[in-house]
C-alpha cells in the first residue's frame, strides 16, 4: 500500500516540477531529471533534491471486516535537501512542496482494493543539518499526515 | 429536620472552624478559586443556615491529577516502545574512549518533563539522522512510530479517565 501512496506523492511533485506553472522550479536548477528520491539519494547525486519517506503508519480500525473497516493513517516525511552554506534553497523547496501537497487528493485508484484520500495535510516541520566534509547538508521539510478510506 | 440556628450567632460566623467548607486536599489551591457561600433562610423553625458548596474546585483538581497520571503513563509507554524500536549495532561489540558502545541511542532515551506534559528525549547528536535519515542513509524511525502507536490509546485513556469524574 505504501508504494502506491509514495508513487502518488512523487507524481504530484514531479508533475509540478515538469509543468512549473509559476516558474518556481527553474530557479532551483535541479541537476538531473530525477529530483525526487525515496528514503535516501543514490551515491554521488548532486544537490538539491527532494526526499520522500514513510515515517510512521498504522491502520485505525472501525466496525466490520474487510478493507472498509479501517482508515489508513500514515505520516510521510517530505523534505527538500541541499548542500551549502545556506539552507535557503531547501527552504524554498519546502515552501513549494507545501503549496502543491497541502490538502491535495492523492490518486490512490491503483491500490488494491482502491482507496480514497480523506485528507493529506502538513503536520510537523522537519529541519536539521548534517555535516559532510566541512559543508552542511540542509534537510528542510515536514511530516504530512495522510488519512485514507476504502473507495 | 433542618438544624435550627441562632441567626445572631450565625451572622458573621462563617469564619468559625466548623463553618469552613470542606474541599479535597489541594483542590482549592489547584483550582485557584474558592467558591462557597453561606446563606440564611427563614423557615417555620427559625433561621436555617444553608451552605452552598461548589464541587467545581474539586473537579478541577481531580481533572488535573487524572490528566497528569494518564500523560505520565503514556509517556512511559512511548519511552519503552521507542527503546524497543531504536536500532542497535548488531556486529562485534565495541567500547571506545568516547563512551560509545552498542545501544547508546537506545540507552540515551529518557523522559523529560516540560510545560504541559512529557517528552521522550535524547542527547545523542545523531538521533535526528536515525529518525529522519541522511542523504545517503535511510531513516530508521523509532520515536515517531512509538508516539503514533500510542496516540489512539492515549485519547481513549484520557476520555475514560474524564468519564470517571
pLDDT of residue A29: 78
DSSP string, B99-165: ---TTHHHHH-EEEEETTEEEEE---TTHHHHHH--SSS-----SHHHHHHTHHHHHHHHHHHHHT-
Chain A residues touching B140 at Cβ < 8 A: none
Torsion of the alpha carbons at A122, A105, A116 and A109, rounded to the nearest 10: -130
- The reply to whether residue A53 touches residue B136, judged by beta carbons under 8 angstroms, is no
pLDDT in tens, chain A (151 residues): 678 899 999 999 999 998 888 788 877 878 777 789 999 999 888 999 999 999 998 888 888 887 778 888 999 999 999 999 999 999 999 999 999 999 999 988 878 778 899 999 999 999 999 998 888 999 999 999 999 988 8
Kindly report the nearest CA distance between residue A81 and chain B, in angstroms. 8
**Chain B, 124-163: which have a CB under 8 Å from a chain A CB?**
128-129, 132-139, 141, 144-145, 147-149, 152
Nearest CA in chain B to A58: B149
ipTM over 0.85: yes
Nearest CA in chain B to A142: B132
Query: What CA–CA distance (Å, rounded) separates B44 from B151?
Result: 59
> Cis omega before residue B83 (within 30°)?
no
Kindly report the nearest CA distance between residue A117 and chain B, in angstroms. 19
Q: Is the pLDDT of residue B42 over 50?
A: yes
CA atoms lying within 13 Å on the CB side of residue B54: 13
- Pairing type for strands A115-132 and A49-61 reads unpaired
**Chain B, 50-79: which have a CB under 8 Å from a chain A CB?**
none
> pTM of the entire structure?
0.78
Within 10 Å of residue B28's Cβ, how many Cβ atoms?
A: 18
Kindly report the nearest CA distance between residue B138 and chain A, in angstroms. 5
Amino acid at each position: 500500500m505504501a508504494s502506491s501512496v509514495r508513487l502518488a506523492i512523487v507524481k504530484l511533485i514531479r508533475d509540478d516540477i515538469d509543468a512549473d506553472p509559476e516558474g518556481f522550479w527553474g530557479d532551483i536548477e535541479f541537476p538531473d531529471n530525477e529530483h525526487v528520491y525515496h528514503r535516501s539519494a543514490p551515491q554521488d547525486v548532486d544537490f538539491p533534491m527532494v526526499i520522500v519517506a514513510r515515517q510512521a503508519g498504522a491502520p485505525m480500525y472501525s466496525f466490520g471486516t474487510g478493507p472498509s473497516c479501517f482508515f489508513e493513517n500514515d505520516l510521510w516525511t517530505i523534505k527538500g535537501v541541499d548542500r551549502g552554506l545556506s539552507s535557503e534553497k531547501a527552504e524554498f523547496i519546502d515552501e513549494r512542496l507545501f503549496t502543491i501537497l497541502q490538502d491535495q487528493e492523492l490518486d490512490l485508484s491503483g491500490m488494491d482494493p482502491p482507496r480514497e484520500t480523506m485528507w493529506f495535510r502538513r503536520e510537523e516541520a522537519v529541519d536539521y543539518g548534517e555535516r559532510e566534509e566541512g559543508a552542511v547538508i540542509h534537510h528542510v521539510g515536514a511530516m504530512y499526515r495522510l488519512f485514507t478510506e476504502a473507495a | 429536620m433542618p438544624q435550627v440556628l441562632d441567626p445572631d450567632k450565625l451572622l458573621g460566623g462563617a469564619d468559625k472552624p466548623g463553618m469552613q467548607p470542606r474541599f479535597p486536599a489541594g483542590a482549592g489551591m489547584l483550582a485557584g478559586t474558592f467558591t462557597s457561600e453561606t446563606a440564611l433562610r427563614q423557615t417555620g423553625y427559625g433561621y436555617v443556615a444553608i451552605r452552598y458548596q461548589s464541587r467545581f474546585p474539586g473537579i478541577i483538581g481531580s481533572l488535573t491529577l487524572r490528566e497528569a497520571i494518564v500523560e505520565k503513563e503514556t509517556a512511559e509507554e512511548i519511552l519503552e516502545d521507542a527503546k524497543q524500536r531504536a536500532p542497535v549495532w548488531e556486529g562485534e561489540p565495541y567500547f571506545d574512549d568516547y563512551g560509545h558502545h552498542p545501544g547508546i541511542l537506545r540507552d540515551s532515551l529518557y523522559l523529560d518533563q516540560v510545560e504541559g506534559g512529557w517528552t521522550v528525549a535524547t542527547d545523542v547528536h545523531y538521533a535526528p539522522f536515525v529518525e529522519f535519515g541522511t542523504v545517503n542513509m535511510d531513516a530508521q524511525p523509532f520515536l515517531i512510530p512509538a508516539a503514533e502507536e500510542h496516540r489512539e490509546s492515549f485519547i481513549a485513556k484520557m476520555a475514560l479517565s474524564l468519564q470517571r469524574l
